[in-house]
Amino acid sequence: MSDSAFNPYEMAREQFDKIADLIGLDAGTREFLRSPMREYHFAIPVHMDDGSVRVFRGFRVQHNDARGPAKGGIRFHPQETVDTVRALSMWMTWKTAAVDIPLGGSKGGVICDPHNLSSREQEAICRGFVRQLARDIGPVRDVPAPDVMTNAQHMLWMLDEYETIMGGRHPGLITGKPVGMGGSLGRTQATGYGVVYTLREALKELNLRPDETTASVQGFGNVAQYAIELYHQIGGKVVCVSCWDQEAQAAFAFFMKDGVDLEQLRGMTDRFGGIDRSKAEAAGYEVLPGDAWLEQDVDILIPCALENQITGENAGKISGRVKVLAEGANGPTTPGADKVLHEKGIFLIPDFLANAGGVTCSYFEQVQSNMNYYWEMDEVLGKLDLKMTAAFLAVSELARKKKLYMRDAAYVISINRVATACRERGWV
């Protein structure tokens, strides 16, 4: 099968099987962990603004909750599939285990394109999603959060619907809520900043000074924007970003030799991270085909868009200068591409470690919601940095000691933690 035709669920299982072999996982535990524990498929009928009724398909997949309530975002995407959600739920299990927070893994998705939906229609989808699931999610069962094309407003609508059904106030149902409505300061920044905390540690390990490095970023949504913000603060220079252009139905890359101006780009970007091409051109950016982000002569690549972007077919185009690949997105690199990266000696910070800042801050948000006492920004970011740095160091130490590829080292740690929890509960 061609690498780019990869099904993400197959890919997540291939990654898992490789490590199950490596650590000699027993057959029962392997069978249990290579599939989700529970999944829900449902229809969400919505009265559209034009008077018609449209039916949207929704999924929630709870991969594992041995270490704590299942945890994971909800994506709105026109190409969503249940297999993508299954893969993402599995990666959430490894992610919460990698940063050692007391949560499991889940994911949700709705097949829809918010670009073409009014605010009221999106609200109806959010409320409809919760109506289908209210008894199967909850603060001690499964806790949703934002993901691709969902945000704090969507989370608040979902919370409000849940509280309407259940009665009372249950802020621990969901994370990524607006600040002031049970949200945590720093949650918006957390995923992108977390990528850079791990990147900073990787650069230390490679004896590279951040202010002597350049980077190219795929995507310009929430994760990408905050990764760029903190990477610039530590002295780095992003020379290329790419994003999806909804009108053209194609991706484009924006190149600026002296470094992109984050604030300027934000000023010409829609709420989904789409950069206005003519405004960017007028501001002096060179507009290139979307794939160009991968081929830049930079030290660092930071994919922050969707899964399945770096494949066995295009990984050969990565410049010989690239030293680090930090996966801000979930599942951006296929196993075929992993082989190429490994051969090229590129230091990989795998997705479920690099982008774990979001769920780590979600955990802090739950803790704050439970106490009904909210921390200052410094406290949130300080705790986030500590967690991310400790998780990175544990993985990189194991990789060094056992001469493992970073993704494999992270998997060894996470799978062992989850398998131990399942065993100690007497499940397997």
Q: Which stretch binds ligand GLU (CB under 6 A): 13-21, 71-79, 313-321, 388-396?
A: 71-79
Q: Of the ranges 9-17, 108-116, 357-365, 388-396, which one interacts with ligand GLU (CB under 6 A)? A: 357-365
Tokens 């053209």 -> residue: 248
Q: What is the CA radius of gyration of the chain?
A: 20
The residues, ordered by sequence, that sit 6+ positions from 281 with a Cβ below 8 Å of its Cβ are: 287
Cα 190 to the center of its chain, rounded Å: 11
Cα–Cα separations (whole angstroms), residue 79 to 45, 109, 182, 255: 18, 10, 31, 28
For ligand GLU, give the closer residue by CB, 109 or 210: 109
Closest residue to ligand GLU, based on beta-carbon distance: 73
- Of 64, 175, 216, 269, the one binding ligand GLU by CB under 6 A: 175
Rounded Cα distance, 101 and 391, in Å? 11
Q: Which position among 95, 107, 177, 387 bears the catalytic label?
A: 107
Beta-bridge partners for 286: 255
Q: What is the spatial distance between Cα 120 and Cα 54, in angstroms, rounded to a whole number?
A: 14
Residues 284-323 vs ligand GLU: string with x where CB under 6 A? ----------------------------------------
To ligand GLU, the closest distance from the beta carbon of 113 in angstroms equals 19
Of 1-9, 131-139, 309-317, 353-361, which segment contacts ligand GLU by CB under 6 A?
353-361
Measured between alpha carbons, how far is 291 from 392 in angstroms, rounded to an integer? Answer: 29
Q: Name the segment binding ligand GLU (CB under 6 A); options: 62-70, 119-127, 261-269, 358-366.
A: 358-366
Of 6-14, 269-277, 318-326, 351-359, the segment contacting ligand GLU by CB under 6 A is 351-359
* 95 or 237: CB nearest ligand GLU: 95
Which tokens in the block code for residue 31?
């069978």
Q: Which is nearer to ligand GLU, 218 or 355 (CB)?
A: 355
Q: Does the active-site annotation cover 18?
A: no
CB of 73 to ligand GLU, least distance (A): 3
Candidate residues 12, 66, 112, 145; the one interacting with ligand GLU per rule CB under 6 A: 145
Give least dist CB 166 to ligand GLU, A: 20
**Cα dist. 139→3, 9, 71, 143, 321 in Å?**
38, 27, 10, 6, 46
**Residue 72 sits in the site that holds ligand GLU (CB under 6 A):** yes
**Residue 143 parent element (H or E):** strand 142-146
Least distance between ligand GLU and beta carbon 359 (Å): 4
Alpha-carbon distance 208 to 154, whole Å?
40
Rounded Cα–Cα distance for residues 373 and 234 (Å): 31
> Does position 73 bind ligand GLU by CB under 6 A?
yes
Q: How many residues bind ligand GLU (CB under 6 A)?
A: 12
Least gap, CB of 304 to ligand GLU (angstroms): 11
By beta-carbon proximity to ligand GLU, the closer residue of 16 and 94 is 94
Element holding 64 (H helix, E strand): strand 53-64
Q: Smallest distance, Å, CB 357 to ligand GLU?
A: 8
- Is 147 a binding residue for ligand GLU by CB under 6 A? The answer is yes
Q: How many CA atoms lie less than 13 Å away from 350 in the CB half-sphere?
A: 30
φ, ψ dihedrals at 247, nearest 5° = -70, -45
**3-state SS class at 150:** coil
Question: How far apart are the C-alpha atoms of 361 and 143, rounded to whole Å?
Answer: 13
Any idea which residues carry the catalytic annotation?
Answer: 107
Query: Where along the sequence are the contacts to ligand GLU (CB under 6 A)?
Result: 71-73, 95, 145, 147, 175, 330, 355, 358-359, 362
